[in-house]
Structure 1
C-alpha cells in the first residue's frame, strides 16, 4: 500500500481510538490526594470574629440533632423536588415530564427510571445521603443539622437555622412554574443562602462549601466512563473523569500511577459554573459570583438489586469565599441549580445559560460539528417523530453532501491504481537510489496527472463531521429508551438473544458486514496483498469495538457503510462507463470495442 493510503488508515485509526476512549476530555493533572481538613467555622470571641475551628473553646458545641426528619415537595410540569429539613437542602429531584412519552402506555414519562418501569421517574441524587446544595464541611449547618421550615408556597420554600446564637442562615429555593419561558428553564431552581451576623463583632472572611449532589450509574451495566465533574474557567471548560479517581489501569502494574482509588481531588480555580453528571443527566450549579474551587469525590453506593458489588458515584462540591460580615450585616450565596437531562437545545438557550453551559454535553474538539448535526437531527426528528429514522436520514444527507469529495477521492484512487505497475517497476529499478526514485515517481505523477494527496485530502474534510456525529450520538438523552426496528433502546446495545451467555447484537454485526463489503468494492491502489488483507480485516475489528456501544452509534455506522456500498456501486458503474468511452474514442471506426460504424446502407 502506498504512503498516502497508509496515512489515511493511520489517521482514521488514531481518530477512532481517541474518540472512543478519550472523547477529547481535558482532564487536569490529578494532584496528590490532599489531607482533608474541615472547613473552619466562625470564632465568636474577640473584637473581630476570626474563623479558626468549629472545635475552638469559644464555640458552643453544636447541639445533637433532635428534630425529626421532614420533607417538603415543590413541583412543576417537569420536576418534583423533595427538600429535607436536615441541611435545609434538596434531597432529590424526580424528572416527571410527560412530553414525548410513550403513547401506548398511560402515565408514561419522558425520562423513566427504566424501560420496564415507564411510569416511574428517573431521580437525581436518589441514592446519595448528601442533599444537593447542602452546606458541607461546617458542623452545625451541614446535612446532619436540622433547619426550621419558616415559609412555603406553591413555588418557594424557606428554611432557617441559627449557629451558636451568633450566625443566622436563611436558605430559600424558588421553582419556575409550568414550562417556563424563553428567559427561564423549568429544570432550574433558584437558590439563595443568606448568612446574617447576630453579634456586635465583625466576622472575618471564611470559606463556604456547597454540595452539588452525586452522579450515579444508570444501571448495573454502567461502567461509569461518562461520570464527570465539569467546571468552567474564563472561556474554557474542563472535566475530571471518574477514572481519575478510580486508580488501577494497565500502567499501574509497572509502577506508573496508583492501584488504589483516590477519595478526593481538589481543584483551585475561579469557576463560573460547576457540574456533575452521568451519560444523560446533569446537576449544574451556576452561582451569581464565581467560586474559588471544587472538590471531586469518589463515593461508594449501595449495590444494584441482584448484585453484591457496591455501585460507584461521583460527588462534587463547590467552594466559595464569604466576605467579612459586619455586625448585623449579611453575606449571600445565590445562583441557579439545573437538575435535569443533558438536552443541547435547552442548555444552549443563551437567555438562560450564558456561560457555555451546553459544554456539559462533552462533544469534544469537534463540538462545532456535533452541535450543527444535532440541530439538523432535531429538525428531521420533528417531522418523523422517530429517532432511528432521523439518524438514517441525517446519515443519508451527509453522504449526499460529501458525494463530490468521495468522487474526487475515488478518481484519484483509480488513477493511482492504473500506474501501480509503473510505480512497481520504478521501485525495482531505483531501489538503491531513493532520491532518484522520488524524482522519477513525481515525474510519473505529473505525466499521468495524479495528485498523491488527491485521495487523502477530500476524505480528511469529512472526518470532523463524522466524528462530531459520533460524539453527539453518545450523550443525547432523547435516545434513552427510544425504539427503532428490533431495538428497544437506542442508547444501549440492541441485544436480541444470548448464546452461551454472550449477547447477540445485530447492529454491530451488520455494520461489520456492510463495511467489509464496502472495502472489497473500493479500488485498492496497491499490489501488496498482505496490506490489502489487513485493511479488509479492519471492519471486523471496528465491529468488535462497537459491539457493546449504544445501538444509535452502531446504527449510524451500519447505515453509513450501507450507503457507502450503494455509493461505491454507482461510482464503479461510472468508472466502467468512462473506461468504455475511452475505448470507443481510441478505436474509431472499429466494429469491435469501438464506436459503431455509421450505417450507410441506402434506405429502401
Structure 2
C-alpha cells in the first residue's frame, strides 16, 4: 500500500471521526427549568422487600366523587410547552416493592403502579465502587407509568394487591369508572418466565370499564424512563431515544430539541428550543438509552402508535465534570380500542432494562439489537458497519470467553483479522513496490506525451501490463482496513462489556487511558499514551511505505495526516487506539518483510540512448534493466 492510498484511507477515517464529533456535539448550558429534587450519592442497592403481600394502610384510590357522564377515559392532552420535562419529586409515603434476581433489582412504587428504578447488579456505578448502576434513579416519571392524564399518572396512588418473589400486582380505580390492574413478572436468572431474559420484565395492564358508558377508542402514554450522560468521558453520541418501525430504527438526539445551530446565524432554521419531538408509528419497540444502558419496551401485540421525546435538566453537573447534565425522557403512545361497559382492554409488553450487550439483545424477537446503532450514520452504512460490527463484537466476546481479559481479546482479535487479510495486503504491498520502481519510466512517458493525454494513458497502461502491475492493487488494504476500523469504532463506543475493564495501564477501555494531566492555566492537557503510540506507528508506517511521485503540497499532507488523525482520536476510547496500534505494528512488520522480499527484483529504469529512443528498445518497447547488483562475473 503506497502513501497515496494510505493517505486517502486516513482522510476517510478523519472525515468519519468529524461526522461523529460534530453530529453529536455537547449542548451549551441552559438555565434550569425547575428545582431538582435532592438526590443522595449512589449507594448499594437496598435489600429486597419481603416476597409477600405488603401490609400497609389501604391505598387511597382516585374516584371518590360520583361518576360523571361522558367518556370513561379521554385522550391525554399535548405535553406541556415548557422547555424541559419536570423532574419527579420524592414521595416520603411511597411504598416500595422489590423484585430481584442475580442480574437486577427492580424497585416498584405504588405511585403510578410502575417501575421506580432498576439497579443493574453486574455493572458498578463507578470504577472500584461496589454500588450498582441505577437506571432511572433521577427521573421525570417512573418507567411504564401513565403520563399526561390528570388523575392517572405518577401521582396516582395504586393499591398493592400482591407481591411474590417473581410478581407484583397493583390496582386502582379511575373516577369510579375504570378499574386498572397492573401486573409485573420478573424472569429468574436462569428461567424463561417473563420473556426469557433476566433483564426483562413482563408487563400487563388491564383496564376494565365498570361504568355504564362505552369508552370510545383513545390512547394512553407510557413512560420509557429517563436517561442522562454517564461521565465526563461520555461524548453523548448514544444519549438518545430510539424506536423501530419493523423496517429501520429512528433516533432522536438532544440537539433536535435544543434549537439553534450554525445555520440559524444566517436566518435558516429555528433557534427556539422545542418542548417535545414526536417519532411517528408504527413502533415495534421504543427505547431511552445512553452510552451503555437502555430501557426497551416491546408491545406484545400491535405496534405502538408513536413516541414523544422531551429533554430533562437534572440541575446537577455531569459526574466528574462541571458541564450541566441534560438528559432525555420519552413516552410511548399505545392505542386503545373501545371499551363497552363490563368489558376490558389489555396493554401488554416486555420491558428490558439493562446493559447494551449485542450478544444478548440480538436474541430478542424484533431487532432490539438496533439500539446499538452500529449503522446509524451514513459513513457507517457505506462501509457496511451494520454487517461487520456485529461480527467483530461476537468475535471479541468469543475470544474473551477463552482469555478472560478484554484488552487481550482486542489484541488477539486484531491479530486474527490482520492474519486473515494478510494475503491481500501482501499482494497490494508488492504491487505498490513495483509501482514505485516504474516511476522513472512513467515520468518519461509523461514527458513524451505531455500534449497527448490519450497516448499517455495508452502507453502507461501498456507499461503496467508488461510489468504485471495492477494500478489499483494498492487500494486493497484501504478497502479492507477502513471498514474494519469504522466498524470497530461503531462497535466499541456503546459496548457495555468494555466499561471499567482495565488493560496494562489503562483503567477503562471504554474511555481515554489518561495517566496524568498537565495544567495549562485555563485548562488541563491529558496525557493519553495509546493514541500517542498509535500516531507513532502511523508515522513509522508511512516512512516504510513506497512513495509515489507527488508535489510538495501532497507531500506535506502525507506528513500531516498521522498527526491530524492522532489529534482526532486522542480523546476517544483507548480500545480504539489499542486496536489501531496493534494493527499498525503488524503492518510495519509486514512492510519490512515485503521491502526485503522485493529489494532484489529487477528495477525498471530508462535504458541508454539508442535503439527505440530514451528508455526504449527496438520498436519502442520498454526495456527492463536486469543488471545484477555488485561486480559482474563472466
Q: Give the TM-score of the pair, scaled to structure 1.
A: 0.84
**Do residues 263 (structure 1) and 278 (structure 2) align?**
no
Whole-angstrom CA distance in 1 between matches of 2:141 and 2:598 = 66
State the 1:440 CA deviation: 2.8
Helix, strand or coil at the partner of 2:140: coil
Q: 1:75 to 1:374 in 2, by over 3 A?
A: same
**Do residues 247 (structure 1) and 259 (structure 2) align?**
yes
Q: 1:484 to 1:54 in 2, by over 3 A?
A: closer
Deviates more, 1:4-13 or 1:284-293: 4-13
For residue 78 of structure 1, the aligned residue among 83, 90, 103 is 103
Whole-angstrom CA distance in 1 between matches of 2:101 and 2:374 = 30
Whole-angstrom CA distance in 2 between matches of 1:568 and 1:372 = 27
- Per-residue displacement from partner, 1:346-371 (whole Å, max 9, x unpaired)? 1112xxx1111111111113121111
Q: 1:411 to 1:593 in 2, by over 3 A?
A: farther
Q: Is the 8 A contact 2:75 2:220 kept in 1?
A: no
Gaps of 5+ in 2: 25-62, 79-89, 376-380, 606-624
Whole-angstrom CA distance in 2 between matches of 1:25 and 1:167 = 46
Q: 1:179 to 1:409 in 2, by over 3 A?
A: same
Q: 1:53 to 1:570 in 2, by over 3 A?
A: closer
State the 1:483 CA deviation: 0.5
Helix, strand or coil at the partner of 1:122: strand
Deviates more, 1:190-199 or 1:531-540: 531-540
Q: 1:53 to 1:190 in 2, by over 3 A?
A: closer
State the 1:574 CA deviation: 1.3
State the 1:419 CA deviation: 1.9
**Do residues 379 (structure 1) and 398 (structure 2) align?**
yes
Whole-angstrom CA distance in 2 between matches of 1:383 and 1:91 = 38
**Do residues 342 (structure 1) and 356 (structure 2) align?**
yes
Gaps of 5+ in 1: 27-40, 56-64, 97-109, 598-604
State the 1:21 CA deviation: 3.0
For residue 566 of structure 1, the aligned residue among 589, 608, 618 is 589
- Where do 1:362-441 residues align within 5 Å? 362-364=373-375, 365=381, 366-441=385-460
Alignment-derived partner of residue 530 in structure 2: 507
- Per-residue displacement from partner, 1:38-87 (whole Å, max 9, x unpaired)? xxx9x9866876836789xxxxxxxxx99932211111111011111111
- Per-residue displacement from partner, 1:127-160 (whole Å, max 9, x unpaired)? 2131111111111111122111111111111111
State the 1:567 CA deviation: 1.3
Whole-angstrom CA distance in 2 between matches of 1:150 and 1:593 = 101
Whole-angstrom CA distance in 1 between matches of 2:22 and 2:323 = 30
**Do residues 477 (structure 1) and 491 (structure 2) align?**
no
For residue 297 of structure 1, the aligned residue among 305, 310, 332 is 310
**Do residues 112 (structure 1) and 137 (structure 2) align?**
no
Alignment-derived partner of residue 206 in structure 1: 218
Whole-angstrom CA distance in 2 between matches of 1:193 and 1:284 = 17
Whole-angstrom CA distance in 2 between matches of 1:401 and 1:319 = 48
Q: How many residues align?
A: 549
Q: Is the 8 A contact 1:127 1:302 kept in 2?
A: no
Q: 1:307 to 1:577 in 2, by over 3 A?
A: closer
For residue 18 of structure 1, the aligned residue among 16, 26, 49 is 16
Alignment-derived partner of residue 575 in structure 1: 598
Alignment-derived partner of residue 285 in structure 2: 273
State the 1:458 CA deviation: 5.0
Whole-angstrom CA distance in 2 between matches of 1:261 and 1:221 = 26
Whole-angstrom CA distance in 2 between matches of 1:306 and 1:237 = 32
Q: Is the 8 A contact 1:113 1:120 kept in 2?
A: yes
State the 1:7 CA deviation: 6.7
Whole-angstrom CA distance in 2 between matches of 1:53 and 1:530 = 63
For residue 208 of structure 2, the aligned residue among 188, 196, 201 is 196
Higher relative contact order (CA 8 A, sep 6+): 2
Helix, strand or coil at the partner of 1:435: helix
For residue 534 of structure 1, the aligned residue among 557, 561, 566 is 557
Q: 1:566 to 1:256 in 2, by over 3 A?
A: farther
Alignment-derived partner of residue 36 in structure 1: none
Q: 1:23 to 1:321 in 2, by over 3 A?
A: farther
Q: 1:54 to 1:481 in 2, by over 3 A?
A: closer
Q: Give the TM-score of the pair, scaled to structure 2.
A: 0.80
Q: Is the 8 A contact 1:520 1:536 kept in 2?
A: no
For residue 455 of structure 1, the aligned residue among 447, 461, 474 is 474
Alignment-derived partner of residue 551 in structure 1: 574
Q: 1:416 to 1:332 in 2, by over 3 A?
A: same
Alignment-derived partner of residue 170 in structure 1: 181
Q: 1:87 to 1:181 in 2, by over 3 A?
A: closer
Whole-angstrom CA distance in 2 between matches of 1:409 and 1:455 = 5
Alignment-derived partner of residue 326 in structure 1: 340
Q: 1:347 to 1:587 in 2, by over 3 A?
A: same
Instruction: Kindly report the root-mean-square deviation, in angstroms, between the aligned alpha carbons of the 2 structures.
Output: 3.1
Helix, strand or coil at the partner of 2:578: helix
Whole-angstrom CA distance in 2 between matches of 1:490 and 1:20 = 22
